[in-house]
Structure 1
Amino acid sequence: MSNRTVFILLGVAAILVLLASLGNLQREPDNTQAGRLFLPGLESMLSEANQVTIVKGGNEAVATLQRNADGWTVAERGGYPADFAKFRSSLLALAEARVLEVKTSDPEQYNRLGVEDVGQTAAAGLAVTIESPGNSATVVVGESDGNYRYVRQAEEAESYLIDRNPNFGTETTDWLDTNLLDISGDRVRQVSVTHPDGETVLVTKTDAAQTNFSLDSIPEGRELLYDSVANVTGNVLERLRFDDVAKADESEDAILVE
């Protein structure tokens, strides 16, 4: 056998090995399930859901959302209220999602879509478990593909591309209702700021028609850089949000404000 023949055979063998390793992703897509609901019955289940658990790679808990008499709360933050709008939007996206395409059922290929078991430390996806009395469902939410997302039911091998892109936060703080106060500057007449050295800065509005806050006690020979400079202080309570929260007996800084 000539050297040329040997090289040709080796080349063919290498190509066959490559095709075999990519077989699951390169095969013709199965479109027989296209258009069906990804999780039939989930929408009706949501009305009775009492807990939603979100876990990321390495089985690290992200958030345990629990329903009680006051609404949905985040257990990892001492039962602080959850961001219900985000929570509802994410779950409804899953409930309304329809299959666009059936993807791989080979666990060796899951990591390409982010739908591998979250017990793996390097897992890219999230396991979302929805629980209601006598029922539960766990979905591995993987990578996004434009406006769509790859998903897999945890107990099933088949993965799918769905026609929704539910956004499940990967940090506990993503699930908190971080709105603290929202008092428009139009409703504020006076703000007093006392510095550690005892100096007090006062900004005021004499009437509601006044556009900008005035700064009291401007030192002689000084002037405001621009007319609206005091508005930053006057509007300090407008859309005030926090970064994180903890019980007062667990942290000296119970609330970190942006």
Structure 2
Amino acid sequence: MQPRNFLMLAGIAGVSVILATAALVMQDRPLVSTSLDQPLAPTLAPRINDVVRIDVSGPDGAASLERKEDAGWVVAQKNGFAADEQAIVGLLRKLGTLRIVEAKTALPERLPRLELGDPAAPDSRSRRILLQDAAGEVVADLVVGKRAFGVFGPGRTGTYVRLADDNQAWLTDAEITLPTSAAEWISSEVIDIAPERVKLVSLEPQDGVLVTTSRAGPEATQFDLAGVPAKEAADQAKLEELSQVLSQLTLLDVRPAQEVAFPDVPERVRVETFDGLTVVLTWISLPDASWLRVGSVTADSTASAEVKEEAARLAARTDGWVFHVGGYVTEQLGQTLDDLLVKPEES
């Protein structure tokens, strides 16, 4: 090879390396500035408090959220059961302050790449959210697409969004999570009795053989288990787990009570607290789901006003409903005396 040709090839190779390195550097550099720092929907923020209905739809179904004067936010598909108000308020605030950062494609055939295609199309991954006021007027109508992880640097995520009547896609400055299943919008934490409050748990199976565990006071670390045979011992770890069963109990779904048939003599559990609250539950474990029903909630006459309010609130919130809970809950409630004893190999 002639020296001149060698020098030309070496120069080209050097330029290629420089360009490749620059491309990698630019690829890893977060997007920090742009001329498109403006609201996606300028009229939304001033009207955010006017929103009384939210319709979301997407690959997991559809949900309609309605704001009632006497009940707050509810889920229409769940017969008006309470919605997760914190999640709704957080979403509305985020949409109200959402700002566009960068213009993306406006070509309809490219929108599905950003999960911004027609939400009604088969196999679409896009999600639509429609906000309306009390008169039924549209406050905002958006299509929400995929998230852009790390686009603003480590730990900061954006979301691709467009107006429903406009094909122009935008990269926005916030991470938007938009569930479209009605069950994901219910207020999932209905019962929450802290373990340190629990005085007694009584498991009352259909066969009538009671399993009762209790402790002497809130500071006690050991539980008593009634009926422990001689030379046997209660498994304190399992008893402690049992005392936690109604702590931040998470609901997977909810139905009107008449839609789930319970036996005439169902499995029952009674939980009493040191401050005078008593909750009686019934439950049933079916092949496809485990269901819990609150039979009664009462407060002792000597209980504080706060506990009496809690009892009334819990009774009102659960009356007429049955709750789909994780199978681990009914496994706990279905334990026998033998299940709560220390096994020989554990001694």
The reply on whether 1:37 has 2:39 as its aligned counterpart is yes
1:136 Cα deviation from its structure 2 partner: 2.9
Moved more, 227-236 or 240-249: 227-236
Q: TM-score, normalised by structure 1?
A: 0.82
Distance 1:251 1:196, change over 3 A: closer
Q: Shift in Å at residue 229 of structure 1?
A: 2.5
1:114-133 mapped onto 2 (5 Å cutoff): 114-132=115-133, 133=135
Deviates more, 1:159-168 or 1:33-42: 33-42
Q: How many residues align?
A: 226
Q: Which amino acid aligns with 1:63?
A: A
Task: Give unpaired runs (5+ residues) of structure 1.
Answer: 1-30
Identity percentage over the alignment? 25
Amino acid at match of 1:47: N
Quote how far apart the aligned CAs of 1:52 are.
Answer: 0.4
1:21: which partner in 2?
none
1:179 aligned partner, one-letter code = E
- CA shift for structure 1 position 116: 0.6
Query: 1:243 — aligned with what?
Result: 252
Amino acid in the other structure paired with 2:76: A
Deviations 1:41-65 (A, max 9, x none): 21222101110000114xx752100
8 Å CA contact 1:36, 1:99 repeated in 2: yes
Q: CA deviation at 1:71?
A: 0.6
Aligned-partner SS, 1:52: strand
Q: Shift of residue 137 of structure 1?
A: 1.8
- Alpha-carbon separation, structure 2, partners of 1:72 and 1:144: 27
Question: Any idea what SS the aligned residue of 1:47 has?
Answer: helix
Which is worse superposed, 86-95 or 118-127? 86-95
How far, CA to CA, are the matches of 2:218 and 2:131 in structure 1?
49
Tell me how far apart the structure 1 counterparts of residues 260 and 214 of structure 2 sit (CA, whole Å): 34
TM-score under structure 2 length normalisation:
0.62
SS of 1:189 mapped into structure 2 = strand
1:207 maps to what in 2? 217
- 1:136 maps to which residue? 139
Gaps of 5+ in 2: 1-32, 150-156, 262-290, 292-321, 327-347
What is the CA distance between 1:33 and its match in structure 2?
Answer: 5.4
1:1-258 to 2 correspondences below 5 Å = 34-57=36-59, 61-69=61-69, 70-132=71-133, 133=135, 134-146=137-149, 147-225=157-235, 227-252=236-261, 254-258=322-326
The structural deviation recorded for 1:197 is 2.0
Instruction: Output the CA distance in 2 between the equivalents of 1:200 and 1:89.
Output: 45
CA contact (8 A) 1:33 1:99 kept: no
AA matched with 1:45: R
Tell me the SS of whatever aligns to 2:46.
helix
Question: Secondary structure at 1:124's aligned position in 2?
Answer: coil
Q: Deviations over 1:88-131 (max 9, x none)?
A: 11222121111111011000001100011111011101100000
SS in 2 for 1:231: helix
- Deviations along 1:226-246, one digit per CA (max 9) or x if unpaired, are x33211112222111211001
Letter in 1 for 2:323: I
* CA shift for structure 1 position 210: 0.3
Larger relative contact order, structure 1 or 2 (CA cutoff 8 Å, min sep 6): 1
TM superposition shift of 1:221: 2.3
Which AA in structure 2 matches 1:158? Q
Aligned partners of 1:91 and 1:166 also within 8 Å: no
SS in structure 1 at match of 2:73:
strand
Tell me, yes or no, if the aligned pair for 1:179 and 1:240 is still in contact at 8 Å.
yes
**Matched-pair contact (CA < 8 Å) for 1:89–1:166:** no
Contact kept? 1:213, 1:228, Cα under 8 Å: no
Q: Which amino acid aligns with 1:48?
A: D
Deviation at 1:250, TM superposition (A): 3.1
Partner SS, residue 234 of structure 2: coil
